[in-house]
């Protein structure tokens, strides 16, 4: 999921606590029928390794090995051993489509997609503190056979050469195997087997990766012909391979390049350049790009807009930063990209990355464009979800632990320890500037010409590959097809795309998950309230859109359509405004992902060996740890989840239910897990229409709960003997031992009553019962806090008093006066760093640390022994000087603390000044824009242009500065003049409606933040009542004073 050019966001590769992988045995090792030099080694993981919805779903894991120089003429002097994980569809796998999933990076493992996004299973923590798997509710295996590929070489479980090494989890660096350095906790220094981590032994451009992917698929489809969508059952003939390729993040560059290379190879098969009888045609049915970086020249411009003027109302940067970012884009980023493409197009047109001049130009452009995100990164918000502050807990990294356990590695045939991201691969791509070389827009245009369905899917909370830039890229693709189709029978892509509107994505009968613009075989979807990894944040919506893409139906409703002439209808812009952000989730510090999941404070404690590690998670305080639930059931390799006898096979009728419990993310609370049980897998007809009425399980987006098929824990009483109240509570989702409330935050046990003796007043007995204290302590621990009541405080206070008395007694015989403590010069300097000690004062300090008393005579620490009688004048002077020094040190500390406070105040004041400057600049621009409306004889065209510009630039300030008044004042004379010529009886539809529709926000016709505030419980009643009693708006006055009389007079004279 990481985007390569952001070097500060590179995820450190992580190693296994299981250390070196166990010996591997493959059930099948064979030569590729396409190329005998290519080997295919695979096995079937034991049941429970990845728990699927149905036990009959077959899975295969293994490696396809390409020896050196397979990619000629590319100078590939290294081996490529690509790991794959294949899962059958839940129903009819022999006729189901095949979908290939690739994560981005470059260098990110596709196991992220499998276990955190859309794979058939997900990793959960079991009662014994280990990890297992459960079937995923909205896994994409509901609609398709799915193949996950770790590519290029060295990514995830793929490798070039097996290499033993030590990994420093804190720094993310590799060394030859060695013990942990002194002072390092053992769990951050790990030994294991990896790839070489040499950037010279992997692909360094997407074009080279495409060649390797083509050879991989040639071998896979020849070894597994039963999953070739072009192979018909009971037939030896193989037709065109219809494959769906879905890629995420950097996959916006991978996907189009891979697909275009496949098409080129198909053409070479037809013209005889490569042998036709020993190769397969790999022709895509559809290409899906999820929050993809397609063309940085187009998309990087929107970093400024997304940070300042997004649909969540989050202003991560100031308007000044926004304008400066746009200026930096124009003057530095865009010009550097154009220079890169010019040089690379001349001397490295094939994108092989072996021309240093081209590499240098493109690498410089990469860094120039990378700097555009610096202002946003300063906000502390997460680049993958702008609603969340760093470090983000999403998605959970439990699969990192699971894939590095010995039993799992043996089950899947892994030959290296699993890492989710590889820095060597990222460095290789950065060194060639691969991300800025471009060409993907033209590749997508060529795919559309060839009839491939191309769909872009973007979560609207993502920043790094945001939906605004994705939408702009979709228009660039349409512009590249201004002459296609050229038969004159239908609109070109350019005109058709511009005329298509945004339709709601109807996920089920109660939820709209986004908006889609669709024209022919091209579509762009904005998914509401989803971050970078859309299937993780909005699993049901992502699955729904995916299924409609591969089925070739209307992405809005799932209805069958004719793509040759289909155009979506709706508003021209995706204007949905997202709801207020949810409460910030608490981060989880995974030791295998220190860089992205642990705070600086946690890292400091970790290196000091404070805290504890449990199940791969670091806790700085043992009280933060909560034992796993005893009701969680999941599968492990060789130990599958117990299934009901009525569970269906993948080719069954779909009439029975399955008992696999899946979980999905709650819309407003990403850390909240909502358990759901699917009643049956979706059939193709159901997927096409998607008119669910609850039979597929609850919709996580609509926040409805679902009754589970099986209880998650044993009932407190035998079945049928529950009381009426217990039955009522169980029906509402309550479980024995769980706290009351939606999230179990309420009390567990009934309130215990403690009576006072008759006539006794408050305080005569301890009012707080043991049950009350235990309940309060449980609530505090659930929040990661420490509970203290008054009795605890009293006990600690008594303990402190006793310790003080004990120390005082130790200072003299029989509890006399306290023993005097003396400080050396070193002690004084350590107590007050930076304090300059007067030399005269040093000369009279007594050094009483030895057996005899000495006077310090120099700052160099030279001592002159002097025998001093007890209680002499020298002793008195020394005591007085000591007291003065102590007071001096205290005063110094006070000044230092005051300095910190003053500096903080200065920083706050500077921030307020900067904000005031920004506000003044904004008001200056606003005044200029409003004054620009005051033009004599202004016409509708001029007025619309200026008002739309004002509306776009100051959308969030319309109500604050009463811009509606200026807008209404501008259109009033035009409106009045036009109304004089309008006869409602002859032309019932008013021709200015279209103009006014585009001005709805600035005319005050849309709900704004202030309007929504009337329902905000935080607003004082008096203030809320004032808002409800607000007078008519300027636009309402205009309609009431001009339009309504016109209509009334028309009705009066109407016969």
Q: Which residues participate in catalysis according to the annotation?
A: 249, 462, 532
Which long-range contacts (C-beta less than 8 Å, at least 24 apart) are formed by 377-380?
A: 377/8, 378/317, 379/307, 379/316, 379/317
Residue at token pair 């824990």? 713
Q: Give Dmax over CA atoms of the chain in angstroms.
A: 127
Nearest to 338 by CA among 304, 361, 370: 361
Exposed e or buried b per residue across 422-452, where buried means at least 16 C-beta atoms within 10 angstroms of its C-beta: bbbbbbbbbbbbbbbbbbbbebbbbbbeeeb
Residue at token pair 């240098």? 360
Nearest to 852 by CA among 842, 871, 866, 862: 866
Look up residue 142 and give its DSSP letter.
G
First and final C-alpha spacing in the chain: 68
- Euclidean distance between CA atoms 25 and 47, whole angstroms: 17
Residues 6+ apart with CB under 8 A from 192: 15, 16, 18, 19, 20, 21, 164, 165, 167, 416, 417
β-strand partners of 87: 59, 146
Residue at token pair 């120089």? 69
Residue 767 CB-density burial (10 A; 0-12 exposed, 13-18 middle, 19+ buried): exposed
Nearest to 532 by CA among 131, 156, 11, 154: 11
Question: What tokens appear for 841 in the block?
Answer: 């004062």
Question: What tokens appear for 412 in the block?
Answer: 């899947």
Task: Name the CA radius of gyration of the chain, rounded.
Answer: 35
Count, residues in the chain: 1055
Asked if residues 520 and 554 have their Cβ atoms less than 8 Å apart, the reply is no
Beta-carbon count within 10 A of 979 CB? 16
Asked if residues 419 and 633 have their Cβ atoms less than 8 Å apart, the reply is no
Helices 873-931 and 963-980: crossing angle, nearest 10°?
10
- Euclidean distance between CA atoms 867 and 417, whole angstroms: 70
Determine the Cα angle at 1045 with ends 1040 and 1048, to 5°: 120
Beta strands in 538-603 (DSSP E): 589-590
- Euclidean distance between CA atoms 423 and 983, whole angstroms: 71
HEC assignment per residue over 242-263: EEEEEEECCHHHHHHHHHHHHH
Asked if residues 528 and 575 have their Cβ atoms less than 8 Å apart, the reply is no
């Amino acid at each position: 999921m990481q985007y390569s050019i952001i070097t500060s966001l590179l995820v450190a590769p992580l190693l296994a606590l299981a250390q070196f992988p166990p010996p591997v045995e493959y059930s099948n090792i064979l030569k590729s029928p396409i190329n005998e030099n290519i080997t295919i080694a695979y096995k079937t993981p034991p049941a429970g390794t990845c728990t699927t919805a149905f036990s009959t779903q077959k899975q295969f894991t293994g490696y396809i090995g390409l020896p050196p120089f397979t990619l000629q003429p590319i100078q590939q002097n290294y081996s490529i051993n690509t790991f794959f994980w294949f899962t059958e569809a839940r129903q009819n796998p022999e006729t189901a489509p095949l979908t290939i999933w690739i994560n981005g990076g470059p260098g990110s493992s596709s196991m992220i997609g499998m276990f955190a996004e859309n794979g058939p299973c997900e990793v959960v923590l079991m009662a014994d503190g280990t990890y297992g798997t459960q079937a995923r509710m909205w896994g994409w295996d509901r609609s398709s056979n799915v193949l996950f590929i770790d590519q290029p070489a060295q990514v995830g479980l793929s490798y070039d050469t097996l290499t033993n090494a030590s990994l420093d989890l804190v720094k993310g660096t590799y060394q030859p195997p060695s013990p942990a350095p002194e002072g390092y906790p053992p769990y951050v220094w790990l030994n294991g087997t990896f790839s070489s981590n040499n950037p010279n032994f992997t692909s360094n451009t997407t074009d080279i990766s495409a060649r390797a992917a083509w050879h991989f698929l040639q071998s896979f489809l020849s070894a597994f012909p039963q999953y070739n969508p072009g192979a018909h059952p009971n037939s030896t003939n193989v037709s065109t391979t219809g494959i769906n390729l879905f890629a995420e993040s950097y996959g916006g560059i991978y996907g189009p390049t891979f697909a275009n290379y496949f098409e080129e190879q198909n053409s070479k098969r037809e013209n005889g350049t490569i042998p036709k009888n020993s190769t397969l045609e790999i022709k895509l049915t559809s290409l899906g790009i999820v929050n993809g970086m397609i063309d940085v020249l187009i998309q990087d411009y929107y970093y400024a807009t997304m940070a300042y003027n997004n649909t969540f109302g989050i202003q991560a940067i100031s308007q000044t930063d926004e304008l400066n970012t746009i200026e930096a884009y124009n003057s530095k980023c865009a010009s550097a990209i154009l220079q890169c493409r010019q040089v690379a197009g001349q001397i490295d047109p094939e994108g092989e990355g072996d021309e240093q001049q081209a590499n240098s130009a493109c690498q410089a452009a990469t860094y120039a464009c990378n700097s555009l995100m610096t202002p946003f990164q300063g906000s502390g918000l997460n680049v993958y979800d702008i609603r969340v502050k760093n470090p983000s807990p999403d998605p959970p990294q439990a699969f990192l632990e699971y894939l590095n356990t010995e039993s799992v590695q043996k089950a899947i045939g892994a030959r290296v320890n699993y890492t989710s991201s590889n820095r060597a691969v990222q460095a290789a791509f950065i060194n060639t500037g691969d991300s800025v070389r471009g060409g993907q827009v033209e590749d997508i245009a060529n795919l559309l010409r060839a009839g491939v369905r191309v769909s872009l899917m973007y979560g609207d909370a993502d920043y790094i590959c945001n939906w605004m830039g994705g939408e702009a890229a979709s228009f660039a693709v349409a512009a590249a097809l201004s002459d296609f189709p050229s038969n004159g029978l239908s609109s070109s892509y350019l005109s058709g795309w511009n005329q298509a509107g945004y339709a709601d994505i109807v996920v089920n009968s109660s939820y709209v998950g986004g908006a889609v613009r669709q024209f022919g075989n091209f579509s762009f979807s904005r998914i509401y309230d989803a971050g970078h990894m859309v299937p993780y944040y909005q699993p049901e919506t992502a699955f729904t859109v995916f299924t409609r893409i591969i089925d070739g139906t209307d992405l809005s409703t799932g209805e069958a359509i004719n793509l040759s002439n289909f155009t979506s209808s709706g508003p021209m812009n995706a204007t949905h405004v997202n709801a207020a952000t949810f409460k910030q989730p608490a981060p989880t510090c995974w030791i295998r992902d220190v860089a992205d999941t642990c705070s600086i404070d946690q890292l400091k404690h970790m290196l000091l060996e404070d805290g504890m590690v449990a199940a791969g998670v670091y806790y700085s305080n043992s009280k933060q740890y909560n034992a796993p639930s005893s009701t969680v059931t999941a599968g492990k390799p060789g130990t599958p989840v117990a299934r009901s006898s009525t569970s269906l096979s993948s080719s069954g009728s779909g009439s029975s239910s399955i008992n696999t419990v899946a979980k999905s993310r709650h819309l407003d609370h990403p850390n909240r897990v909502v358990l759901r049980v699917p009643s049956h897998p979706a059939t193709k007809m159901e997927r096409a229409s998607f008119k669910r009425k609850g039979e597929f399980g609850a919709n996580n987006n609509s926040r409805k709960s679902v009754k589970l098929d099986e209880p998650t824990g044993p009932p407190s009483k035998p079945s049928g003997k529950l009381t009426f109240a217990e039955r009522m509570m169980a029906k509402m989702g309550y479980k024995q031992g769980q706290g009351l409330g939606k999230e179990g935050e309420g009390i567990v046990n009934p309130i215990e009553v403690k009576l006072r003796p008759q006539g006794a007043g408050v305080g005569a007995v301890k009012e707080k019962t043991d049950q009350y204290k235990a309940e309060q302590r449980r609530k505090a621990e659930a929040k990661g806090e420490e509970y203290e009541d008054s009795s605890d405080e009293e006990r600690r206070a008594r303990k402190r008093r006793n310790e003080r008395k004990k120390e005082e007694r130790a200072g003299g015989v029989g509890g006399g006066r306290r023993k005097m403590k003396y400080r050396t010069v070193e002690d004084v300097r350590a107590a007050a760093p930076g304090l300059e000690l007067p030399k005269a004062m040093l000369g009279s300090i007594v050094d009483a640390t030895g057996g005899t008393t000495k006077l310090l005579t120099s700052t160099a620490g030279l001592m002159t022994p002097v025998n001093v009688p007890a209680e002499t004048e020298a002793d008195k002077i020394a005591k007085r000087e000591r007291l003065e020094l102590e007071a001096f040190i205290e005063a110094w500390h006070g000044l230092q603390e005051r300095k910190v406070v003053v500096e903080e105040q200065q920083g706050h004041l500077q921030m307020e000044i900067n904000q005031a400057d920004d506000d003044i600049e904004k008001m200056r621009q606003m005044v200029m824009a409003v004054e620009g409306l005051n033009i004599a004889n202004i016409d509708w065209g001029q007025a619309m242009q200026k008002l739309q510009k004002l509306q776009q630039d100051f959308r969030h300030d319309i109500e604050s500065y009463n811009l509606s008044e200026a807008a209404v004042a501008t259109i009033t004379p035009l409106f009045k003049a036009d109304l004089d010529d309008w006869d409602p009886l002859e032309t019932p539809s008013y021709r200015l409606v279209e103009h006014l529709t585009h001005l709805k926000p600035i005319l005050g016709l849309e709900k704004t933040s202030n309007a929504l505030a009337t329902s905000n419980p935080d607003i004082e009643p008096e203030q809320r009542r004032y808002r409800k009693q607000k007078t008519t708006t300027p636009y309402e006055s205009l309609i009431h004073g001009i339009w309504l009389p016109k209509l009334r007079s028309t009705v009066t004279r109407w016969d």
